[in-house]
Structure 1
Amino acid sequence: MSDVAARAGVALGTVSNVLNHPDKVAEATLKRVHSAIDELGFVRNNQARSLAMGRSTTLGLVVTDIGNSFFVDIARGAEEGAAANGMTLLLANSDNDYAKQETYLDLFDQARFAGILLAPFEAAPESAHRLRGHGRPVLLLNVAVPVDEGCSIVVDNFQGGYLAARHLIDEGRRRLAFVGGPDRLEPLLERRLGAERAVAETNGAVTLEEIIVGAVNAPEGRAAGSIILDRAPEERPDGVFAASDLLALGLVQTLSAALRIPDDLAVIGYDNNSAVRESAIPISTIAQPGREMGEIGARLLWSEVADEGHEHEHVVLAPALIARASSVRR
């Protein structure tokens, strides 16, 4: 900045005002300083500025899988929420890799970001606790934490699982299968428990089995579809609830080669991923309000950063059923 001041023939404080409070500077001086900035190729060091001010204006967001449009929706909402409060947002994708997630969290922490939004690969209380110990506000998305530990926002996955199974039951399905990942992934566990509740309400008229997969992606869905097709027809489920839309997409890709969807077997997924809306057979789903989750998350995190009478909150958002051709007979 001193070089800019010397080139423009003004005081250092005038350059600071041009950058931070241009309304306080005469038009002619503004032009002279901006001309010097352009000539010198000056770029402001925002990290140093944040240190001097004692507060950054950047939020970080780490998501599990940017290939899932649910997380894209979260990012869009978080960006809107950050911008509404004069903040910028930087996005990182852990790609279902815990080590990569931790690397990004450390990077954001070392860069002294104002706060971090984290949609973790798995429940990450240790990571959040470590960052909070450094004075870094952390808000968890899609994973609940006690309010005395911080803010968190979730979708009611239990209700979402219930809605999915109830829809299949209402469509006349009596042999259901839940295709999902390990129970240590809290959202998937809650979805399965919700489905179990819907089945229990039928008093034995409907059965539910679980087909466990290693990941909630399309290849694992295709593998689960092959498992189903290898069975005798009378041993196959007539309704499948997939724990994610990408799983459902893989299932439909495999099953539709040998079965009539939904006449022989109905399929419903979870997330309202853009991929299932554009599938050859549009796939029913449970929609999550990702954009709302991101926007609320950024607003709550900004409240904690600004310390404007902030109180931690645990927010639960409602899912919604979207019925499409994969589960509704024509």
Structure 2
Amino acid sequence: MMRKNGARGGAAGPPNMHHVAELAGVSVATVSNVLNHPEKVAGSTRSKVEKAIEQLGFTLNQTARALRSGDARSIGLVVIDLTNSLFVDVARGAQEQAQSQAFTLQLASANNDLAVQDAHLSFFDSARVSGVILAPMQESDEQIARVRRHGRPVVVVNFDSKLTDSCRVLIDNERAGYIAAKHLIDLGRTRIAFVAAHDDYQPVHDRRRGVRAAVEEAGGAVTLIELDTVDLDPPGGADAGRRLAGMPEQERPDAVLAVTDLLAMAIINELTNAGISVPEDVAVMGCDHNSAAWGGAIPLSSVSMQGEEMGRAAVDLLLGELRDEHGGHVHRRVLLQPHLVVRESTIGRERVPV
């Protein structure tokens, strides 16, 4: 509902042509004519529209105009960490899709630092990119809202932001944790250790929930041991691996599910160094299909995160919003499904499909 002074009660984002039309009591087509062909509009009607524009502080979406004229052709992509190949895949997919639409993609990594992420967003905002794709690991609503207030759409990738004023492209991380744990359970493993850190990261939290659901579904036949470590990088995995190797054999888990592949590979190294056979004694798998962890002596089972598809979908959503001049865009939440990638670390070399 419009307030008498022209402010939009509780509305998020900048005013658009629909708001102007509602306040002036005219059609959107009439507002468009006032802006683009004022000679076609009667003076009294034009005056009402101009007054509504002034009250609302409306400015025409110049980005949409520039898209049609071919002037604005840049997209900013900010990812939380380029050492994880998920975000490399997101960037690759986004770049391919952007190039197919004659756009350039500018990439920045936040190095797991929210302040650095904010600085990159501010830079892209000041550089007047057409729009921004953001792949965070934590809530970034204030940063997103600031960019959107300046008239630039933001699409969020791999994080289900509470902010409703943006499109989102997600992988079902709860499903990823579930299918990883279910794989180990189906192999007959009955003591599963879930190794993780940073439960404040939404993907980690969601994968943990999926793991718990799979174990609960198995009834009392499977025991879950939750082992938290200091971080998601190899040092954290090495620490967890040493702790697991040091357990008495009768108490040691017969399977380990690490929330990231980097953790899993470091755990494998520590177990094998201690003379514990993988997967015969302990099956080990990761959960994010990180190519940085594919070089070990024992190929790692994991879960594919559909990174390239996320990147392509994010560009499509961003361009859809950019091309909407009249304010009719409806934000979408796209949920992609992960799938299991089975390798030697859980089923042994002889069972790996050729």
Task: Compute the TM-score of the two structures, normalised by the length of structure 2.
Answer: 0.76
Question: C-alpha distance in 2, partners of 1:213/1:114?
Answer: 40
Task: Compute the TM-score of the two structures, normalised by the length of structure 1.
Answer: 0.81
**Matches of residues 166-185 of structure 1 in structure 2 within 5 Å?**
166-185=182-201
Give the AA of the match of 2:308. R
Match of 2:221 in 1: 205
CA separation of 1:54 and 1:127: change in aligned 2, threshold 3 A: farther
Aligned residue for 1:233, secondary structure, equals coil
Match of 1:227 among 234, 240, 243: 243
**Matches of residues 60-75 of structure 1 in structure 2 within 5 Å?**
60-75=76-91
Aligned residue for 1:327, secondary structure, equals helix
CA separation of 1:54 and 1:87: change in aligned 2, threshold 3 A: closer
* 1:206 to partner: Cα distance: 0.3
Indicate conservation of the 8 Å contact 1:85/1:302, yes or no: no
* 1:220 to partner: Cα distance: 0.9
Large movers: runs of 4+ above 4 Å:
none
Indicate conservation of the 8 Å contact 2:83/2:292, yes or no: no
Deviation string 1:271-300 (CA, Å, 9 cap, x unpaired) is 212133332100000111000000110111
Match of 1:315 in 2: 334
Question: C-alpha distance in 1, partners of 2:181/2:333?
Answer: 26
CA separation of 1:202 and 1:121: change in aligned 2, threshold 3 A: closer
* 1:148 to partner: Cα distance: 3.7
Match of 1:105 in 2: 121
* 1:302 to partner: Cα distance: 1.1
Q: Is residue 347 of structure 2 the alignment partner of residue 328 of structure 1?
A: yes
Aligned residue for 1:101, secondary structure, equals helix
Match of 1:285 among 296, 299, 302: 302
Greater displacement, 268-277 / 220-229: 268-277
Match of 1:149 in 2: 165
Question: C-alpha distance in 1, partners of 2:74/2:94?
Answer: 12
Gaps of 5+ in 2: 1-65
Give the AA of the match of 2:332. E
Match of 1:297 among 311, 314, 321: 314
Match of 1:261 in 2: 278
Deviation string 1:2-40 (CA, Å, 9 cap, x unpaired) is xxxxxxxxxxxxxxxxxxxxxxxxxxxxxxxxxxxxxxx
Aligned residue for 1:204, secondary structure, equals helix
What count of residue pairs does the alignment treat as equivalent? 280
Indicate conservation of the 8 Å contact 1:174/1:205, yes or no: yes
Indicate conservation of the 8 Å contact 1:74/1:292, yes or no: yes
Aligned residue for 1:67, secondary structure, equals coil
Indicate conservation of the 8 Å contact 1:147/1:313, yes or no: no
Aligned residue for 1:256, secondary structure, equals helix
Question: C-alpha distance in 1, partners of 2:212/2:103?
Answer: 43
Aligned residue for 1:311, secondary structure, equals coil
Indicate conservation of the 8 Å contact 2:139/2:161, yes or no: no
RMSD, aligned CA: 1.8
Match of 2:24 in 1: none
Indicate conservation of the 8 Å contact 1:55/1:114, yes or no: no
Aligned residue for 2:165, secondary structure, equals coil
Aligned residue for 2:256, secondary structure, equals strand
